[in-house]
Structure 1
Amino acid sequence: MNSPALEAHVDLSAVAHNVEILRSHTTAQVMVVVKADGYGHGAAQVARAALAAGATELGVATIDEALAVRRDGVGAPILAWMHSRGSDFAGAIDADVQIGVSSPRQLDAVVAAARVARRPAAVTVKIDTGLARNGVAPAEWDQLAAGLAKAVAEQSIVLRGAMTHLVRGDEPRHPENDLQAQRFDEAVADLIRVGARPQVQHISNSAATLMRPDLARDLVRPGIAVYGRSPAPDRGDFGLRPVMTLSAEVLSLKKIKAGQGVSYSHTWVAPRDTTVALLPAGYADGVPRLMSGRLRVQINGRGFPGVGRVCMDQMVVDVGPDGGGVAEGDRAILFGTGAGGGPTALDWAEAIGSIDYEIVSGIRGRTVRTYSAEPVGTSDTGSRSTQGIGAP
């Protein structure tokens, strides 16, 4: 099978490996976060690989994301925690999607939907313990706790869980983590006192799962670590394996003379006679324009610099006066595992002052995702499948 011109290859064996690493750091069950279409890797494909490796539940941001996973045939417990006024609570109840609740108004809407459906909604209360993002505001806590108790008593809801998000999970010894855990435990004690005991509790993100096992409750909720990216790069990779490799076909080679400018505005001018290679990857595909002049790619095991501006559809690489042994049809690794000194998503992030979460979740456009159950280059080519990034 020929590789697409621009390919994001997803190694599902790496997903399984990373879930096993996470499980080895905790005694809690693992809820794998597959929001944003599995951080750009494919939510359903990652979900199935993670569940097969021992994860027990899934987390997403929106109900629409949860329903998409359901439509792809994944039946595991799944929680969605960010909602608008138009969110489909009735659809969530019908599809057995757990609903995160962050305000009395949301609870009222969920209860109303449950009454119409004539079946209880599975609810997780999201508690703001200091992040000041979504989650129940402290000023509304007493009202919501009372509302949850009433809804439990009348069997409009089942209180499946209580959760919070850490502010400084990637700083394991920061006192804010302990303060948030204390606030969370106090809030759960409030719920128990009013007769609304949650079935499960969860605090830990990827960083806390790996570095603060004492913060684990019934579940941990890793995201980025599932995809092989370290939640604390300054502390190492924890044995995680990057899941996505972004590569592009060399479309053409062109010899140019010293003094020739390349790409828009000629921001790079060849200092010597050289050869440039054209790659079909641009900012419409998720290669940040800010990477102009900062990229390095790997072709046939050798590193080459990107030159000139990254355009909407394409970019140019200097392969040197002798052509670097590069031929049309060769593949350029834009980022991947870092094997052999190759580029990584973290390299991109550090080059533009971002984080690798943004890099991998931002791959889009004409990029085609492919999947295998083993790393690229192994003998198991029969497991490979293909899906466009924009596919439903």
Structure 2
Amino acid sequence: MTTLLTPERVTLSRLHAPTLQTIPDAVAENLRRVRAATTARIMAVVKADGYGHGAVTVARAAVDAGADWLGVTDVAEAVALRDAGLTVPILSWLNPSGVDAAAAAEHRVDIAVGSIEELRQLIADAADPVRVHLQLDTGMARGGSPLEEWPELLRLARTGRGRVEVVGVMGHLPRADEADPAANAAAVLRLRQGRDAVLRAGFGPVLVHLAATSGALTDPATHFDLVRVGAGLVGVDPSETTVLAGASRWTAPVVHSALVPAGTAVGYGGAHTTDRETHLSVVGVGYADGIPRELAAGAGVEIAGTRHPIVGRVSMDQIVVDTGAVLFPRGAVATVFGPEGGAVPSVQEWARWAGSIPHTIVTGIGARVQRSVA
């Protein structure tokens, strides 16, 4: 067998640390593609650290490209954006640790409220007025007030005037990924009913919002006043109807290479056995860094313009790739995923190999992987 690179010709090299590089220009391009699909205002949702891409980096790119709002999981995330100099309106709507009412008021953070208990607590805690978006359960049973409790929620909101100010009404689409407007019709009707009840109760004007990325790209009837775009900013369209720009590139170094004979068992349990003499390269990322442990056949990484298959089990800190006739030196750069196409795998391919969704790939990249910005 001919080796294109031999140990005698390779000098020692400094390793390139595993790195996730965020591409702000791609975030901006994705924002523009959503803008072309709607006349509504756009909220750039940067929860989960900007879907793993860096909340501040993604937020700045989106706002610079025309996003009107930002969306986050909790008030602390919103305060971090304010500290970074972002001044557009911000909504926090999950709040798993409760709401710091004082911080919300001080930093001008709107709060989503989806139950009588939540609203009662916020009224009790608020010394200064907090802007709220009343959240209606529009078909997910995963948060939001049931429609039958909506009148009581509105009565409570009236008694809390001076401590809370109702400025929005929101819901969530349970089936927008199907890219079928008929699947969204029930949620649209329910949100209209909720909005109308809010207006009849004397609140208004209110900002009404329902659609996330899939609805924003596929169903104008769901757009109302505002659409919330999160995964779409980083190149993920759950409806798979629109090609978006990949917004990150994950690279890692080859840390070891060797020529092995046919019949060599690879990794824990010998889950793979080489069927020929070949070169194996160890790449310095594993499941602790976000490489899914269970992968379908065909998973691979790009090195020097060619895709090479991952063989054997994924380890905590390493994967092994079969590079065939080529012996890659220590320090060669492998691209786990990126936007280039061709030999470079996409996030969507990784999701298919893992039997998952792209969201889990980009949000699962571990803290050991360094972050950079293109």
TM-score of the two chains, using structure 2 as the length reference: 0.92
| Distance of aligned partners of 1:276 and 1:34 in 2 relative to their CA distance in 1, 3 Å threshold | same
Decide whether the 8 Å contact of 1:260 with 1:269 is kept in 2: yes
Of residues 191-200 and 286-295 in structure 1, the stretch that sits farther from structure 2 once superposed is 286-295
Deviation at 1:205, TM superposition (A): 0.9
Decide whether the 8 Å contact of 1:252 with 1:277 is kept in 2: yes
Q: Any stretches of 5+ residues in structure 2 without a counterpart?
A: 1-13
What corresponds to 1:63 in structure 2? 75
Deviations 1:150-176 (A, max 9, x none): 32xx32222121111001112232533
Deviation at 1:140, TM superposition (A): 2.1
What corresponds to 1:150 in structure 2? 159
What corresponds to 1:227 in structure 2? 234
Mapped partners of 2:318, 2:219: distance in 1: 43
Mapped partners of 2:239, 2:347: distance in 1: 14
What corresponds to 1:196 in structure 2? 203
What corresponds to 1:257 in structure 2? 261
Divergent runs of 4+, >6 A: none
What corresponds to 1:100 in structure 2? 112
Deviations 1:354-390 (A, max 9, x none): 1101111111131111102xxxxxxxxxxxxxxxxxx
Decide whether the 8 Å contact of 1:293 with 1:309 is kept in 2: no
Mapped partners of 1:73, 1:293: distance in 2: 46
State the identity as a percent: 37
Decide whether the 8 Å contact of 1:188 with 1:197 is kept in 2: no
Which of 329, 334, 337 does residue 336 from structure 2 map onto? 334
What corresponds to 1:160 in structure 2? 167
Which residues in structure 2 correspond to 1:219-368 (within 5 Å)? 219-233=226-240, 235-237=241-243, 240-291=244-295, 294-320=298-324, 322-323=325-326, 326-368=328-370
Deviation at 1:4, TM superposition (A): 4.2
Deviation at 1:86, TM superposition (A): 4.1
Q: Any stretches of 5+ residues in structure 1 without a counterpart?
A: 373-392
Q: What amino acid maps onto 1:256 in structure 2?
A: V
What corresponds to 2:142 in structure 1? 133
Decide whether the 8 Å contact of 1:292 with 1:307 is kept in 2: no
Decide whether the 8 Å contact of 2:179 with 2:239 is kept in 1: no
| Distance of aligned partners of 1:99 and 1:3 in 2 relative to their CA distance in 1, 3 Å threshold | farther
Q: What amino acid maps onto 2:173 in structure 1?
A: L
Q: What amino acid maps onto 2:329 in structure 1?
A: A
Deviation at 1:243, TM superposition (A): 0.2
Deviation at 1:87, TM superposition (A): 3.3
Mapped partners of 1:82, 1:41: distance in 2: 20
Of residues 193-202 and 28-37 in structure 1, the stretch that sits farther from structure 2 once superposed is 193-202
What corresponds to 1:383 in structure 2? none
Deviation at 1:188, TM superposition (A): 0.7
Deviations 1:198-242 (A, max 9, x none): 521111111111111232111111111111122222x341xx211
Deviations 1:14-34 (A, max 9, x none): 001111111111111110110
Deviation at 1:315, TM superposition (A): 0.8
Mapped partners of 2:98, 2:16: distance in 1: 38
Which of 187, 205, 228 does residue 180 from structure 1 map onto? 187
What corresponds to 2:41 in structure 1? 29
Please give the secondary structure, in 1, of the residue aligned with 2:263. coil
Mapped partners of 1:245, 1:3: distance in 2: 17
Mapped partners of 1:132, 1:323: distance in 2: 54
Q: What amino acid maps onto 1:287 in structure 2?
A: I
| Distance of aligned partners of 1:351 and 1:150 in 2 relative to their CA distance in 1, 3 Å threshold | same
Of residues 166-175 and 47-56 in structure 1, the stretch that sits farther from structure 2 once superposed is 166-175
Please give the secondary structure, in 2, of the residue aligned with 1:64. helix
What corresponds to 2:121 in structure 1? 109
Of residues 277-286 and 135-144 in structure 1, the stretch that sits farther from structure 2 once superposed is 135-144
| Distance of aligned partners of 1:175 and 1:3 in 2 relative to their CA distance in 1, 3 Å threshold | farther
Decide whether the 8 Å contact of 2:215 with 2:222 is kept in 1: yes
Please give the secondary structure, in 2, of the residue aligned with 1:36. helix
Mapped partners of 1:102, 1:146: distance in 2: 14
Mapped partners of 1:79, 1:198: distance in 2: 17
What corresponds to 1:124 in structure 2? 133
TM-score of the two chains, using structure 1 as the length reference: 0.88
Number of equivalenced pairs: 361
Please give the secondary structure, in 1, of the residue aligned with 2:43. strand
Decide whether the 8 Å contact of 1:162 with 1:198 is kept in 2: no
Decide whether the 8 Å contact of 1:123 with 1:157 is kept in 2: yes
Mapped partners of 2:267, 2:151: distance in 1: 60
Deviation at 1:308, TM superposition (A): 0.8
Mapped partners of 1:163, 1:86: distance in 2: 19
| Distance of aligned partners of 1:203 and 1:69 in 2 relative to their CA distance in 1, 3 Å threshold | same
Mapped partners of 1:297, 1:255: distance in 2: 19
| Distance of aligned partners of 1:23 and 1:167 in 2 relative to their CA distance in 1, 3 Å threshold | same
